[in-house]
Amino acid sequence: MAANKKSDKPRNNVAAARGKSTGGSFWNPRRLWETFKSLAGTIALFLVLRAFLVEAYRIPTGSMIPTLLVGDWLFVNKLAYGPHIPFTNITLPGYSEPKRGDVVVFESPYQADEAEAGRDPRLTLVKRLVGMPGDTLYMRQGVLYVNGLAQRQGFTSADQFMGDPNETNPLFDWQKRIGLTSSRFGAAPAQPTHDNWGPFVVPLKHYWMMGDNRYSSKDSRYWGFVPRENVRGRPLFVYYSYVPSEESDRPVSFITDIRWRRIGHVIR
């Protein structure tokens, strides 16, 4: 009897062991499930890192010039002051507390004027913390006083826009309810203005935030104190920066007009 001949066709032992051919294996339910689990795990890891450790943030306005420029992209340390659990009012403990002089990322208190304009009334903002709980704050002729001591504003630059120091705004009127009628620092003005307001005391578990670019910053003067639970993190450094298109004479400025010297800039 003649011996059986071996097949000349190469045998795929792995496929044979699984009882499946290699053809069309991408649509195999098992492979699809494994791919889905890998993608889901990657997305879950990204969301955890973003929510609890580090998040990217873009600077859209000039309120913090020259510390931060329009077109800067930052990494924000969310663990420093305690990560906020999304969709809740819970903030976990951090390894430090905000202190006067820090640049802080936070959720704005409710801004009714933004809601009326159809915009987000609880924007995520970045400002400098200038008033701690229990501090007595006031401003005279553009000079900020904390507990009676004038604060040297070393963050501004000579080429910044200077607005009207006597500007009044309906958004300042909330200050009238908390202004001290008498104190060792004098009485609060009847009508707060851009450069003349207070004194008043910062409540417990709240902060007073202001932009370094004082005449181009909508800050605590307009919308009030920031609750501790609104704090979201501390900026680390600039990882990317470019001149915005409205300020650049180059096409596609986010590629052609990169601020290379800003990359890696540590934020203080």
Is 168 or 87 the better-scoring residue by pLDDT?
A: 168
* pLDDT computed for residue 23 by the predictor: 47
Catalytic, out of 78, 96, 108, 127: 127
Residue 158, both tokens: 């000579």
Copy the structure tokens of residue 92. Answer: 């976990």
Q: What percent of the chain has pLDDT over 90?
A: 59
Can you tell me which residue has the tokens 């181009």?
216
Respond yes or no: is residue 96 known to be catalytic: no
Q: Does the residue 4 lie in any domain?
A: no
Could you tell me the CATH number of the domain that includes residue 136? 2.10.109.10
State the pLDDT at residue 192: 96
* Given the residues 63, 108, 217, 241, the one annotated as active site: 63
Residue 76 forms part of a structural domain: yes
Any domain includes 28: no
Average pLDDT, the chain: 85
Please give the backbone phi and psi of residue 17, each rounded to the nearest 5 degrees, phi first.
Answer: -65, -35
Over 80: is that where the pLDDT of 31 sits? Answer: no
Does any domain span residue 29?
Answer: no
Residue 56's pLDDT is 87
- Tell me: pLDDT of 119 over 50: yes
Structural domain count, the chain: 1
pLDDT of residue 50: 55
**Beta-sheet strands, E only, within 78-196:** 103-107, 124-131, 136-140, 143-146, 149-150
**pLDDT at residue 122 greater than cutoff 60:** yes
pLDDT at 1: 47
- What is the pLDDT confidence band of residue 71, given thresholds at 50, 70 and 90? very high
pLDDT digits (tens, 9 = 90+) for 206-252: 999 999 998 889 999 999 999 999 999 999 999 999 999 998 889 98
- Element holding 37 (H helix, E strand): helix 29-52
Q: How confident is the model at residue 39 (pLDDT cuts 50, 70, 90)?
A: confident
Residue 40 reports pLDDT greater than 50: yes
Q: Which residue has the higher pLDDT, 267 or 166?
A: 267
pLDDT in the model for residue 214: 87
Q: Is residue 161 part of a domain?
A: yes
Per the annotation, the verdict on 63 as an active-site residue is: yes
238 against 24, higher pLDDT:
238
**How far is C-alpha 268 from the geometric centre of its chain's CA atoms?**
15
Is 204 among the domain residues?
yes
**48 CB-side CA count, 13 A:** 6
Task: Confirm whether 267 is domain-assigned.
Answer: no
Residue 254 lies in a domain: yes
What is the domain range of residue 179?
Answer: 49-262
